[in-house]
Amino acid sequence: MASTSASSAAKADQPVAIVCVGMAGSGKTTFMQQINAHLHGKKEPPYVINLDPAVTHSPFESNIDIRDSVNYKEVMKQYNLGPNGGILTSLNLFATKVDQVLGLLEKRTAPKPDDPTHTPIKHILVDTPGQIEVFVWSASGQILLESLASSFPTVIAYIIDTPRTSSTSTFMSNMLYACSILYKTKLPMILVFNKSDVKDPAFAKEWMTDYDAFQAALQEDETNNAFGGAEGSGDGMGSGSGYMGSLLNSMSLMLEEFYAHLNVVGVSSLYGTGIDEFFAAVQEKAEEFKRDYQPELERRREEREENKKKARERELNKMMKGMSMGDAAGDVTVGDVNDKEAPEPLSTDEESSDEEYGDDPNDEYDREGLQARYAAAMQGEDDSVLADASFAKYLHSQR
C-alpha cells in the first residue's frame, strides 16, 4: 500500500513538458525567453531543450541543445542540402539520441529525498524550429514528441502572430493549421495569441465563441473586397469573394467542435502580460493529459508491444518450420526457446497421416526411400537419356 501511494505521488509530481511550435515570425523564441524568465523569477527553474539547429543566437540558456550534437552547416555541406533539408536531416540525426535525452530528463527530474537542497523541476520547455512543418510533419519530430509524451505530461503551445491574424481568412488559416497539428500530435493544445501589445486578441476569442460575430466580420471583409477578387462586378464584391466567403463560413461551422477542446490565451512576449494565465492553462491541460490522453497512449503502447510479440512468434515459427530437424533436435520445441505456451496437440487427420508412414514421419524422406521412388519414376526410360541427363550435355546435344 505504501509503495502504491508513493508511486501515485511521484506521478502527480511529474514535470509538465511544454513544446512551443509556431510559424516563423510569430515570436516563438521571445515567448520562450519570457516564460523561462518567469519561472526563474518564481524560483522554479525549468529544464530547457533547444531543437532548432539553425538558430545563431538564443536569448536563453539551454540544458540540452541540438547544436551541441549536430553541426547544421556541416550537415548542409556534406549532404548537399538547402536550409529546410539541413534542419530536417539534423533533427533526424538528433532523434537517434532520443534515449539519451530521456535518460537525462528522467535523471534530472527524479526526486532526491536525501538531498534537501535539491529543487525539483516542474516544467520542461522545448523550443522547435521556425519551419513548423519540418518538426510537426517529420518522422523525427513524431519520435521526439511521442518519446517525451511517454514519460511526461506533454502540452503543445501553438504560438500565433495576432496582428497577422486580424482578417477572417488568415485567422481561419491559422485555425486549420492548429487543427492539423492537434490531430497529428494527439496531444493537448493551447493557442497562444502573441503580441497582444500590438493587437488585442479579444477579437479572435470572440470569433471562436460567437458564430454570429465571425459571420459579421466575414460579411465586412466581403464588402471591403478583402479576399482580393477582381473588381467591377457592380455588387461591391470581387468575383471570387462569394466562393471564399462560403468556404470560410463552412470551415467555421466545422471547427466549432475543435474550438471547444482548446485553451486560448493572449500574451505579450515583450512585456510579459498574460504569462500567469498561460501557466494556468498549462496546468489545466496537464490534468487533461493525465485524464484523457495518457490512458490512450498506454493502450497504444501495449498494442504495439503485443504486435511486436506476435511478429516475433510468427518469425520464430517460420524459422522452425524451415529447419530440417533430426532426432537430436526433436526434443527442442518453440515453447522451450521462447517460453511460450505448449504447441497444440495434433488433430485426428494429422495423426492418421503420420500412421501411414509408420512411427517416424521422417522415414518418408530417408535416402533409401528417395532412391527407390526415383528409380521407379525413371523405369522405362532409355539408358542414353540417363547418360545425357546433365544440363550441360543436354544443351550441347541441342546445338
What the chain holds in terms of domains, given with CATH numbers, is 14-223+251-298 (3.40.50.300)
pLDDT reported for residue 272: 92
pLDDT (tens digit per residue) in 324-350: 544 444 443 333 333 334 344 444 444
- Between 196 and 297, the higher pLDDT residue: 196
pLDDT the model gives residue 58: 87
pLDDT bin (cut points 50, 70, 90) of residue 370 is: low
Q: Are 192 and 277 in contact (CB under 8 A)?
A: no
| 131 pLDDT more than 90 | no
pLDDT band at 11 (very low <50, low <70, confident <90, very high): low
Task: Return the minimum-mean-pLDDT range out of 251-265, 282-296, 315-329.
Answer: 315-329
Residues 285-308 have pLDDT tens digits of: 999 998 888 787 778 778 878 888
What pLDDT, on the 0 to 100 scale, is given for residue 12?
54
Q: What is the pLDDT of residue 65?
A: 93
The answer on pLDDT for 5 being more than 60 is: no
Q: Global pTM?
A: 0.71
Please give the average per-residue pLDDT across 134-139, as a whole number.
Answer: 88
Q: Is the pLDDT of residue 128 over 90?
A: yes
Looking at 176-180, 204-208, 302-306, which range is the least confident one?
302-306
